[in-house]
Amino acid sequence: MAHYAAGLSDAGKSARTVQAAIGAAKSFTRWLVTCEKLPRDPLASVSKPSPEANRRRERRMLLPSEWPYLLAATLSGPVRNGMDGPDRALLYPAENSANGNYRGGPRHRTLHVVLTGELLQAIGSYL
C-alpha cells in the first residue's frame, strides 16, 4: 500500500486523492474481515496522509454578491461535459447557496419547470 501511495504522489496526485484511495482500500479490507474472507485486516496499521500537507486549492463559500457573476459566466459559457451554459446554470442552487441553505437547511426548495415554445423557465419556491 505504501508503494501504491508513493506512486500516486509521484504521479502528481494530491494528498487528498491519495487519502481517498487509501481510505477506499481500507474500507474494502475491513469489509473482507467482517465477511470472514480474511482472518485479519492487512491495512489496519496503514495511516492516511493529511490532506493539509499539500492543499492545492483553498475552498471558500461563494459570497452572495458573487452569484450573479457566476450565473452570467455560466450562461454565456461554452459547452462543457456535453452541457451548454444555460443547462449548467439550472444545476446551480444559487438561491439556496446564497442564503446558506445549500446543505439541508430548514427550508425545502421546489423547482417548477415550464416549457413554453422554445423558452424553458425555471421557477423556484420554498415550502
Q: What tens digit of pLDDT does each residue of 1-60 get? A: 888 888 888 898 888 888 889 999 999 999 999 999 999 999 998 887 777 766 667 777
How far is the C-alpha of 42 from the C-alpha of 39, rounded, in Å?
Answer: 9
Q: Are the beta carbons of 74 and 92 closer than 8 angstroms?
A: yes
pTM exceeds 0.75: no
pLDDT computed for residue 39 by the predictor: 95
pLDDT computed for residue 42 by the predictor: 93
pLDDT computed for residue 75 by the predictor: 86
How far is the C-alpha of 46 from the C-alpha of 13, rounded, in Å?
Answer: 19
pLDDT computed for residue 38 by the predictor: 93
